[in-house]
Amino acid sequence: ALISHQIALNDESFLVKPCKPSTLVTEFPEVDLSDPQAKTLIVKACQHFGSFKLVNHGVPQELVTNLQNEALKFFMQPQFQKQKACPPDPYGYGSKRIGSNNDVGWLEYFLLNTNLDVISPKSLLLLEQNSENFRSAVNNYTVRVKNLCCEVLKQMAEGLGIEAKNVFSKLISSERSDCCLRVNHYPICSKVEEVKTLNEGNLIGFGEHTDPQIISIIRANNTAGLEICLQDGTWVSISLDHASYFVIVGDLLQVMTNGRFKSVKHRVLANLCSSRLSIIYFGGPSLDENIAPLPSLVSKEEESLYKKLTWQEYKNAAYKSRLSENRFRLFEKY
Ligand code: GA4
Arithmetic mean of pLDDT over the chain: 89
So what's the pLDDT on residue 300?
78
pTM as predicted: 0.93
Ligand 1 centroid vs 201 CA: distance in angstroms?
A: 25
Q: How confident is the model at residue 5 (pLDDT cuts 50, 70, 90)?
A: very low
The reply to whether ligand 1 has any atom less than 6 angstroms from the CB of 183 is no
The reply to whether ligand 1 has any atom less than 6 angstroms from the CB of 169 is no
Q: How far is CA 245 from CA 106, 174, 208, 312, in A?
A: 23, 23, 20, 28
- State pLDDT tens for residues 125-182: 999 999 999 999 999 999 999 999 999 999 999 999 999 999 999 999 999 999 999 9
Q: How far is CA 187 from CA 15, 105, 130, 228, in A?
A: 13, 11, 21, 21
The reply to whether ligand 1 has any atom less than 6 angstroms from the CB of 112 is no
d(CA 306, CA 317): 16
So what's the pLDDT on residue 6?
37
d(CA 302, CA 257): 12
Q: Which of 109, 112, 211 to mutate to test the pocket of ligand 1 (most atoms within 8 A of CB)?
A: 211
Ligand 1 centroid vs 2 CA: distance in angstroms?
A: 26
Ligand 1 centroid vs 60 CA: distance in angstroms?
A: 28
Residue 2 has pLDDT above 80, yes or no: no
Ligand 1 centroid vs 37 CA: distance in angstroms?
A: 33
Q: For residue 98, which atom of ligand 1 is closest to its CA?
A: 9
DSSP letter string, 244-282: -EEEEE-HHHHHHTTTSS----EEEE--SSS-EEEEEEE
The reply to whether ligand 1 has any atom less than 6 angstroms from the CB of 103 is yes
The reply to whether ligand 1 has any atom less than 6 angstroms from the CB of 79 is no
The residue among 69, 108, 68, 273 whose CA lies nearest residue 188 is 273
- State pLDDT tens for residues 192-223: 566 655 555 677 889 999 999 999 999 998 76
The reply to whether ligand 1 has any atom less than 6 angstroms from the CB of 212 is yes
Residue 308 has pLDDT above 60, yes or no: yes
The reply to whether ligand 1 has any atom less than 6 angstroms from the CB of 111 is yes
Q: For residue 325, which atom of ligand 1 is closest to its CA?
A: 15
Q: For residue 210, which atom of ligand 1 is closest to its CA?
A: 1
Residue nearest (by alpha carbon) to ligand 1 atom 14: 323
Question: How high is the ipTM of this complex?
Answer: 0.99
* DSSP label at residue 176: T
Q: How far is CA 20 from CA 97, 140, 203, 232, 269, in A?
A: 22, 39, 9, 15, 11
More confident residue, 106 or 212: 212
Ligand 1 centroid vs 319 CA: distance in angstroms?
A: 6
